Amino acid sequence: MADIQSPLPGMFYHKPSPDEAAFKAKGDDVAVGDTIGLVEVMKTFIEVKSEIAGTFEAYVAEDSAPVTAGETLAMVSD
């Protein structure tokens, strides 16, 4: 099991836009470089990418919630 952490402080989003599905759901395959969420920092959206491959377990940070740099956003199992 590995954590994906936020690279920056900001607002964390599970979905590419409010009307779309979350980037990942439990059981989805995760490849290195896959986008798992967005962090909005100072009106700029930064894609959060996985640095590991595995299976998506769950989001840890809530959708549309403030996060700090280094905070765990999601978990991926090997």
Site string for other proteins, 42-71 (x = CB under 8 A): xxx-------------------x-x-----
**Shortest reach from residue 19's CB to other proteins, in Å:** 16
3-class secondary structure per residue, 11-57: EEECCCCCCCCCCCCCCCEECCCCEEEEEEECCEEEEEECCCCEEEE
9 binds other proteins (CB under 8 A): yes
Tell me the residue type at 17: S
10 binds other proteins (CB under 8 A): yes
Query: Can you tell me which of 2, 16, 28, 41 binds other proteins, judged by CB under 8 A?
Result: 41
Place of tokens 């549309």: 64
